[in-house]
Amino acid sequence: MKESRSMDLEGMEILVLGLGMSGRSAARFCAERGARVTAADEGRTDELSAMENLDDLGSGVRVLCGQPFPNPANFDLTVPSPGIPPHRYRASAQRVWGDIELAGRFLSIPIIAVTGTNGKSTTVRMIEAMLKAAGLRAEAGGNVGTPALSLAGKPLDVAVLEVSSFQLETIEAFRPRVAVILNITPDHLDRHGDIEGYARAKRRIFENQQSGDAAVLDFDNAIVRAMAGDAPSEVIPFSRRGPPALADQHRSAWLDAGSAVFADPKGLARVPLDSVPGLSSPDRDNALAALAAVWALGVDPLEASEALVNFRPLPHRCEVVPTEDGVTWVNDSKATNPGAAQRSIEGTGGPTIWIAGGRDKGLSYSGLAEVAQQSVKTALLIGEAAGLIEQALDGQIPCEREDNLDAAVKTAASLSGPGDVVLLAPACASFDQFMSFEDRGECFRAAVQRYAKGNIQ
For 156-181, the pLDDT digits (tens) are 999 999 999 999 999 999 999 999 99
Nearest C-alpha neighbor of 212 from the set 177, 188, 179, 243: 177
pTM reported for the whole predicted model = 0.90
Amino acid identity, position 250: H
Helical H runs in 33-113?
45-51, 99-106
Distance (Å, whole) CA 102 – CA 408: 45
| 74 is an active site residue | no
Nearest C-alpha neighbor of 334 from the set 280, 412, 255: 280
**Which candidate in 2, 53, 71, 120 is catalytic?**
120
**Which candidate in 118, 188, 192, 286 is catalytic?**
188
How high is the pLDDT of residue 45?
Answer: 64
- Domains of the chain (ranges plus CATH)? 13-96 (3.40.50.720), 101-310 (3.40.1190.10), 319-451 (3.90.190.20)
| 87 is an active site residue | no
DSSP E strand boundaries for 273-368: 319-321, 328-331, 352-357
- Judge contact between 379 and 371, C-beta under 8 A: no
- Judge contact between 42 and 51, C-beta under 8 A: no
How high is the pLDDT of residue 58?
Answer: 78
| 120 is an active site residue | yes
Which H or E run includes 262? strand 259-264
For 236-295, the pLDDT digits (tens) are 999 999 999 765 668 999 999 889 999 999 999 999 998 888 788 888 999 999 999 999
Which residues of the chain carry a pLDDT beneath 50? Answer: 1-4
Distance (Å, whole) CA 2 – CA 5: 9
How high is the pLDDT of residue 1?
Answer: 37
Nearest C-alpha neighbor of 26 from the set 58, 51, 3: 58
Bridge partners, residue 218, by sequence = 238
Distance (Å, whole) CA 158 – CA 258: 29
Burial class (CB in 10 A: 0-12, 13-18, 19+), 229: exposed
